[in-house]
Amino acid sequence: MSENCTHDCSSCSSNCASRKKESFLKEPHKNASIKKVIAVVSGKGGVGKSLTTSLLASFAQKKGMSVGIMDADITGPSIPKMFGVTDHATGSEEGIDTVLSPSGMQLMSMNLLLDDETSPVIWRGMVISGTVMQFWTDVVWKDLDLLFIDMPPGTGDVPLTVFQSIPIAGIVIVTTPQDLVKMVVEKAVNMARIMNIPVLGLVENMSYLSCPDCGKKIEVFGASKAKSIAAEYGIPAVARMPLDPAISSLADAGRIEDYDGSALDEVFAQIEKAERK
């Protein structure tokens, strides 16, 4: 520390030991209680990120945990549809209340606030990011063991805002077997490292199709790259989700909670071990 230190780090260029790092973390609603936050991310769209979020949350709920999902994909929200939720969110001056799924899971999504769920949300990035933060600061999440955040694809405004402003305990990366995958995963891993957030697992959706007659696993979109990519980037757990018509049927019927998500067991074990921030 310099002898002429004024203790005003904002106007100082010195890199001394006493310099404090500025925190952008925001407090949740004063009446909210959230033990751990997990973000589900992807480097590109169309890989089944919302599906993975729904399955992980349902798996946790079946284990007796109190679970919530924040649908941060404001312009493409799909969480309410998967859970068969059509009620509108309500609130008061005290805050916004979540809407419950059939099993009692707490949900918040843009589609729960629109009069017509098919109405497009034509907003610029900063407005979208602000809305996501309101899902954190204005929503009364009640006694949650786990809050999953279904992130929009990529590394833009919303992921940056969430990673800076919400205490994320770790992320799960979602991908598919195509050759483009490695680059997409690397982008997500590098962003997580820059933001100092642990990568807990890699979920490869549409990894294979099980033959209904002999049970053989057919890799429709090419050989799986999940384990080799996870090993290269030090990702501790991998889940390969099948191309299963039952998943699509349950999601379309709003009954995704009924699907057996045991294939996600190793990834979920890492979520349980992740330290709360």
Tens-binned pLDDT, residue by residue, of the chain (277 aa): 455 565 445 455 556 654 455 678 999 999 999 999 999 999 888 899 999 999 999 999 999 999 999 999 999 899 999 999 999 999 888 899 999 999 999 999 999 999 888 888 888 889 999 999 999 999 999 999 999 999 998 888 999 999 999 999 999 999 998 867 788 889 899 999 999 999 999 999 999 999 888 889 999 988 898 999 999 999 999 999 999 999 999 999 999 999 999 999 999 999 999 998 7
Assess if residue 137 is contained within a domain.
yes
Tokens of residue 220, six digits: 């429709």
DSSP SS3 for 90: coil
Q: Give the CATH number of the domain where residue 166 resides.
A: 3.40.50.300
| C-beta separation of 88 from 112 below 8 A | yes
6: how many CB neighbours lie within 10 A of its CB? 8
The parent domain of residue 204 ranges over 31-273
| C-beta separation of 140 from 175 below 8 A | no
Pairing status of strand 146-150 against strand 170-175: unpaired
Total domains in the fold of the chain: 1
C-alpha distance from residue 230 to each of 183, 185, 266 (Å) = 13, 9, 13
Tokens of residue 51, six digits: 């599906």
pLDDT the model gives residue 213: 87
pLDDT the model gives residue 3: 56
Assess if residue 267 is contained within a domain.
yes
pLDDT the model gives residue 18: 47
Assess if residue 116 is contained within a domain.
yes
pLDDT the model gives residue 4: 59
Assess if residue 171 is contained within a domain.
yes
Assess if residue 8 is contained within a domain.
no
Assess if residue 1 is contained within a domain.
no
116 φ, ψ (degrees, to nearest 5): -130, 115
pLDDT the model gives residue 215: 85
Q: Where are the alpha helices (DSSP H) in the chain?
A: 49-62, 79-82, 125-137, 157-165, 181-194, 226-233, 245-252, 265-273
143: how many CB neighbours lie within 10 A of its CB? 11
How far is residue 49's CA from residue 14's CA, in Å, rounded to a whole number?
43
Assess if residue 120 is contained within a domain.
yes
Assess if residue 143 is contained within a domain.
yes
